[in-house]
Amino acid sequence: MPSYKAPLRDIQFVTNDLLKFTEHYQNLNKDVGLDQSMQWAIIEEAAKFSEHVISPLNAVADQHGCQWSADGVTTPPGFKAAYQQYCEGGWPSLAMPEEYGGQGLPESMNVIVSELVCSASVAWSGYPGLREGAIKTLVSYGTEELKNTFLPNLVSGKWTGTMCLTESHCGTDLGQLKTKATPVANDEYILSGTKIFISCGEHDMAENIVHIVLARLPGAPEGTSGISLFVVPKFLVTEEGKIGARNKVGCGSIEHKMGVHGFVTCVMNFDGAKGYLIGQPNKGLEAMFTFMNSARLTTALQGLVHSEVAYQGAVPYAKERLAMRSLSGVKNPEGPADPIIVHPDVRRMLLTIKSLAEGFRAFAYYVAQQLDIAELGQSEQQRHHAKQLLALLTPICKGFMTELGCEAAHHGVQVFGGHGYIREWGMEQNQRDSRISTLYEGTTGIQALDLIGRKVMGSKGSLLTNFTDIVLEFCESHQSTENMLEFIGPLKQSTHDWLELANTIGKSAGADADELGAASVDFLMFSGYTVLAYFWARMALVAFDKQKQGAQTHDRDFYNSKINTARFYFQRILPRTATLKLTIQSGAQNLMAMDTEQF
């Protein structure tokens, strides 16, 4: 099993050279006290914690899993102790509100730390991760009483949180949910119903678990317009803020999953559990989207994580494993065969993984900057523009990055050949763990419908042009820049195709609504490839500039690697959009022509 090593050089490149985080922090309307040395001190400490405390638990968690009993759920060995150490280090409060005990740092720093922790163990990282969505929901929609009751302990990590949406009969279609909330005295409610697929619904890592639950009030309208949101703690909280009696909510069973075995997924029974309304009655889904959008961005990071883990495992193996001779001549005359990294097809897989991992990092950190600006931008116009960019990029981030994270994990197994199928190497675990990321917080199909339907068509194209204007301005600024022509031409063409396809889909959907669904996933993937091309073009530009400035000897290989990987992406990965363009243009008829009975 490979030991995780934080990719600090690449993180430094993205934060310092590409996205200029120090300038970014100086341009916020709050002094966050993050000069470059402070940023790097936080990142290095997070890297040490991830490498030395969390990473050793990863394989153990996969093999041991979580154990259910009538008394509760126990997590894998070492999980609880690591979580206590995590809390003692102040990591849960990093980007949390200062008025509730948080450190008040920008969300972008939290995203970087989350990447490091999640890369060390996806399973472990979920326990503190879901708590963040619960905090954001309560901050945005909770009463002062609810905030004061729950936020201090959630912020510190002393308590964790969950998101309780899904039920066995409805899945993503939350308009069908049946969990009931009956009002009683003193603004309290009694909740009854069963939720499934509840991540971290029950465990032994924290003293209390705060469930954020969707339910229906008596007489509520049918469908999604009749859903309300409630906070339901595992243990009730006394007026003094202490742990009180056990609430009537429990874990009926845990799911036996394909991967992330150390990350418990529960069936949760609410048997007359006491809860408190969050926000307005029948407006719960709107409030829950605060939690869901937070969770979608966290899940998007998993696409980056599984790509990075695949790369860290595959490259050393490809350099050491001897098999066959190079087609262009012997490369290892002292050995019985050449290392497999000399073979073109192995390099194809390695470069695919590398181009995705490093491209995703740039994409994710850019989105993280928009989170900062949306909250702390100097003007309302800046904040509004960042929110619009987030609205467009969130479903692309979540859908595209997780789909290709699975591809990267697949290549990681394939590089190892038969050894990749064996547990000890860790690649098969990475592939199993990666698969859930495309399903969490809305499947790829749901993200795609959100993108093309609500975001692109719903805004009449304005959300899309907000971002494509940025890309086209970059192309215009560098269309005569030395060495950049090989990137600018294809990027510009892909961006124009993106806009044209959105227009084509909109016109087709006006005559047949199924055209929207038929094109949606291909459109999301086209969007993702184009967005990643933009970031690879920017990374190539920075690398060229560093070379001109006379990069130090130890950095020359790094910048050459960036340029070569950008070329690989533009010549081998971006052309996938040509096929996607054709499939989008083929329309819905080839999907909808068959009668149901013909399947």
pLDDT averaged per 10 residues, the chain (length 599) = 90 98 97 95 98 97 96 97 98 97 97 98 96 94 96 98 92 86 91 96 98 96 93 96 96 97 98 97 86 85 98 98 96 97 98 98 97 96 97 97 98 97 96 96 95 97 98 97 96 98 97 97 98 98 93 86 98 98 97 95
Q: Catalytic: 132?
A: no
- The position carrying tokens 């990142």 is 43
- For residue 300, the 8-state DSSP code is H
pTM of the prediction? 0.97
Catalytic residue among 441, 473, 482, 597: 441
Residue type, 427: M
Residue 1 is predicted with a pLDDT of 62
Query: For residues 84 and 118, what is the distance between their CA atoms, to the nearest angstrom?
Result: 17
Residue 197 is predicted with a pLDDT of 95
Radius of gyration of the chain (CA): 24
How many whole angstroms from its chain centre is CA 381?
27
Residue 186 is predicted with a pLDDT of 77
Q: How many CB atoms lie within 10 A of CB 462?
A: 12
* Residue 11: C-alpha distances to residues 14, 16, 36, 430 (Å): 5, 8, 13, 21
